[in-house]
Amino acid sequence: MKVYYASGTLGDAYVILCKVYRMAQREPVLLKHYTAYESAKPGILEIYSLVPGIGVEFQDKKQPLGITGQFIHHRLVGKRMNYLPDDDGYGLELESHPRFDFGNDNRFDLPNSYATMQLEAGANPKKLRRITADEIKRIISRSDLPIVVLGKDNVDCPRGDGIVDLRGETKIKEVMKIVRDSSHFYGCLGFLSLVALSQRVYSTLYKPRYYRDKHAFESRIRPVAEWMRYVAQ
């Protein structure tokens, strides 16, 4: 069994899952995960459970070494395309487009073709990434498809024909399946945007407000050429 320390919230856990995905196909993996947000633990468990053979033990303290939800730029040299994690001594190779079995159970009556939108993202309630009201109006007015709104229901959501509001209604696997099956994703950097890009869904990502978020885009998405292919310009 391979044992790794890990840390972060839902988006971090999803990147870490992509990093250990191939290893977990070969042998059992135990992730000793630290998160500062107790509310994130059920979602992290559900994310890791997508790959059989991955076990999870939550830690009370963050370890100085471990797998993170980021990539180190200076290790992506030349045409080297395996996107090594923070410590290449782990021998992990990123699976940029993992496959998951979400099952056939679909309790939501969704259109055959639709776009998805997340109004806000982030674990820190003081620094949530949000699409502005004007941007939301533009998305709706320009979309030729119905829009399924996902995520938390902390802000007002437009109502009307073509809007399906599922905020607060979905479990992790359900929301991942809905994003995977959509034609386009609109949102900010976060767990669902990472799911969309890794599942080959073209995505419009809105500008981060904080320096830390700009750094997160540069360290989580830009180093992965296969994900950047699906970032709408």
Give the integer Cα–Cα distance in Å for 137 and 154: 18
DSSP code for 228:
H
Instruction: Using DSSP bridges, classify how beta strands 2-7 and 203-205 pair: parallel, antiparallel or unpaired.
Output: unpaired
Model's pTM, two decimal places?
A: 0.86
Q: Quickly count helices (H) and strands (E) in the chain.
A: 7, 10
77-119 pLDDT per residue, tens: 343 444 444 445 567 889 999 999 887 777 888 989 999 998 7
Do 79 and 121 share a domain, yes or no?
Answer: no
| 125 Cα distance to chain centroid | 18
Together in a domain, 124 and 83: no
Domain count, the chain: 2
Residues 68 and 121 grouped into a single domain: no
pLDDT of residue 79: 39
What DSSP string describes 71-106?
--GGGS-TT--S---S-GGG-----SS------S--
- 40 and 129 within one domain: no
- pLDDT grade, residue 67 (50/70/90)? confident
Whether residue 15 is contained in a domain is answered as yes
Domain that holds residue 186: 115-228
Q: Is residue 33 part of a domain?
A: yes
Containing H/E element for 13? helix 10-26
147 and 49 in a common domain: no
106 lies in some domain: no
pLDDT tens for each residue of 156-200: 777 778 888 888 888 889 999 999 999 999 988 889 999 999 999
Look at residue 213 in the predicted model and tell me its pLDDT. Answer: 59
Q: Are residues 86 and 124 in the same domain?
A: no
User: Would the pLDDT of 29 be above 90?
Assistant: yes
CATH assignment at residue 152: 3.40.50.2000
Task: Work out the percent of the chain whose per-residue pLDDT is above 70.
Answer: 83
Assigned domain for 108 exists: no
Q: Does residue 223 share a domain with residue 131? A: yes
Same domain, 36 and 76: yes
Q: What are the angstrom distances between the C-alpha of 85 and each of 11, 16, 71, 110, 195?
A: 15, 9, 6, 37, 18
Looking at the fold, whether 27 and 130 belong to one and the same domain comes out as no
Q: Does 122 lie in the same domain as 224?
A: yes
